Amino acid sequence: MKETTLSVIGMTCNHCKASVESALSEVEGVQHATVSLEQNQVTVQHEDVPRERLVDAIEEIGYDVPTA
Ligand code: 9UX
């Protein structure tokens, strides 16, 4: 099990939180995703999943992950 924390831009409400958690949970190999609205971050527990696949799942539903 690995854990990745990503910054996410654009999450403001609890529906945003639920949407991002749901989108990540649907990625193959992801066990769990928890958004912190206060920190503008999501922490993901997953198997060997490329970071880019996590980023894509977030960006596909309209949120941004800053590069860097
Ligand atoms: Mo409510 Mo969160 O419109 O975008 S889903 S702010």
Each residue of 18-67: pLDDT tens digit?
999 999 999 999 999 999 999 999 999 999 999 999 999 999 999 999 98
In-domain check, residue 42: yes
Structure tokens at 13: 């409400």
Task: Say how many Å lie between the CA of residue 62 and the centre of ligand 1.
Answer: 11
Question: pTM, whole model, 2 decimals?
Answer: 0.95
Query: Does ipTM top 0.85?
Result: no
Q: Of all atoms in ligand 1, which is nearest to the CA of residue 13?
A: 2
Return the structure tokens found at 56.
Answer: 């894509």
Q: Which residues line ligand 1 (CB under 6 A)?
A: 12-13, 15-16
State the Cα–Cα distance between residues 37 and 48, nearest whole angstrom.
Answer: 26
- Asked if residue 67 is part of any domain, the answer here is no
What's the domain count of the chain? 1
Tally Cβ neighbours within 10 Å of residue 16. Answer: 17
Residue 66 within any structural domain of the chain: no
**CATH number for the domain harbouring residue 7:** 3.30.70.100
In the block, which residue shows the tokens 């990625």? Answer: 27
The residues, ordered by sequence, that sit 6+ positions from 13 with a Cβ below 8 Å of its Cβ are 37
Residue 68 lies in a domain: no
Tell me the residue range of the domain where 45 lies.
Answer: 2-61
